[in-house]
Amino acid sequence: MTRFRFDLLSHLICRERRVIGRAARVGRGLFCVDEKMKFSILIILFWWNPLDDDGRGHLISHEGGRPLFFKSEAACVDHVEENYNGLKKYIEKYYSGKATISEVRCVRKTKQ
């Protein structure tokens, strides 16, 4: 079976099972990766001026134009540790120096 045909058929099977996400081959079976079991990076912000604080965090959903998620909390934490300085620079640039990182959490991504 060609890869394209497997991907198309497995996507339809996972969709029929009402699993949002993608499919992977495990042995001879099919394993639907449920998007609800993925982890994302949530950054809690520290605002230099408390009046700017809107109470929301900043969810990191993409890196280099590609979706960014992790299959486990440990993988997410490893990524944060390796890329902390880059995340800090991104946040400070995004908020024009009005905020910086207060805390970084790896949270379960829920269906949106």
| DSSP code per residue over 54-102 | -S--EEE-EETTEE--BSSHHHHHHHHHHHHHHHHHHHHHHTTTSEEEE
**Pick the residue with more confidence: 43 or 54?**
43
Backbone angles phi, psi at 72, to 5 degrees: -145, 160
| Mean of per-residue pLDDT scores for the chain | 76
pTM recorded for the entire structure = 0.63
Average pLDDT in the 10-26 region?
Answer: 48
Domain boundaries in the chain? 3-34, 38-108
CA separation, residue 111 to residues 33, 34, 70 (Å)? 13, 9, 15
CA distances from 61 to 4, 18, 36, 65, 92 (A): 27, 23, 14, 9, 17
